[in-house]
Homo-oligomer: A and B are copies of this chain.
Amino acid sequence: MAGMAETSPGPGTAGGTGPGAGPASGTRRVTIRDVAGRAGVSVATVSRVLAGNYPTSAAARAKVLRAVKDLDYVIDGRARALAGTGPKTVAVIVMSVDSPFYANVAQGVEQEAAARGRLCMVCSHGGDEARELALVQMMREQRAEFVVLVGGAVEDERYRARLTEYAHGLAAAGSRLVLCGRPAPGPDTPVLVVEYDNEAGAYAVVSHLLSAGHRDILYLGVLPGYSTVEPRIAGYRRALADHGLPPSAERVRGYGLGRSHGYDAMRQILADCDGRPDFTAVFAGDDQAAAGAMAAMREFGLRTPEDVSVVGYNNDALAQDLNPPLTTVNIPSYELGREAVRLALAEAAASPARATTQKRHVLGTHTVLRDSVARPRH
């Protein structure tokens, strides 16, 4: 099907049989009543034929289908939704679809939702809290089956309170809030959480640097209070400590993630030390920052990995095309999205009445080894 076989006279040409069948003038929308009239049956029969969930005679079915085709009838999704049938919709709200991480998560949600017969809305607020709020409200109004909120945020008390309000509001409407890549705002909030282990990923990749012989490792990209960044720094610290290094070995520098922040921060750092860094390796908060840092180092004549080793975080597509290809931590962004949907659906099946529980899934990370790490010079 879907083949539009049976070259029906296109909607433009559909003249044919009926009275005033030409869609050319009739500006009113074609309703189920029109179909019923043309087929000579009742609206109930039309509805049943179209839904296919009730026995109908072959004769009636044929007449209805014919009328539908003649009139080019398209059922009204909103009316159908109002009546309680039709496909459910789910929503995913991200900061921006430009970023590969968000895009991947959104893609995962989309795919899994589509596979389960839901249609999916992807919306973005560009970091604007007011817009985020408006989006959640809209999804509540649309009676979205659940809302996936993805990405980190600065976890201050005010924001946590807001999240709690979202969750309760959604729950009250029979819906659900799913947090993706960010922790729950509190223990009693009815949210579903799908996370990945930020701290462990950081621990592993820093351990990799340590076992390559590095002792002076710079962490690049601070974002105070940010829920995805703090654990990475914590993992960095724990790795250092576990290898017997004193706290004085910690070097945490540079504000912000993303390419330009990484670039600017590294330029500043290298300028301050006159091009002779006191570190032999860099752990960048994300791959974009790593790319920026590498660009800055190149400008100072520092080669990767001969002079300074570099590792990143995220395993963006770009990581493999840097020169040299970047060793980094893979986060299962796509799976994160799929899992969010699965979790929400499973939860809805388990307790259809009202969301009250909180569930949490943690997906694993792993470091992917490429060519940006070597043993330190000395």
Contacts and interface: CB of A to CB of B under 8 A. Distances in A.
A277 interface: no
Contacts of A112: none
Taking the full assembly, how many copies of this chain does it contain?
2
A62 B334 CA distance: 47
Interface string A279-292: 00000000000010
Most central of A1, A168, A173, A174 by chain B CB within 10 Å: A168
Interface in A349-371: 353-354
A110 B321 CA distance: 29
Contacts of A40: none
Contacts of A81: 78
- When A and B form their complex, which 6 residue pairs have the shortest distance between CB atoms, in order from nearest? A323-B323, A77-B141, A122-B122, A2-B168, A121-B121, A291-B321
A107 B114 contact: no
A12 interface: yes
- What does DSSP make chain A's interface, helix, strand, loop or mixed? helix
A74 to B, nearest CB: 5
Q: Among the interface residues A29, A78, A79, which one has the most CB atoms of the partner chain B within 10 A?
A: A78
A143 B321 contact: no
B172 A4 contact: yes
B97 A143 contact: no
Nearest to A106: B97
Contacts of A27: 174, 353-354
Contacts of A12: 168
Contacts of A271: none
B75 A172 contact: no
A142 B77 contact: yes
A296 B370 CA distance: 16
A104 interface: yes
A153 to B, nearest CB: 16
Contacts of A2: 129-130, 133-134, 164-165, 168-169, 172
Nearest to A167: B2
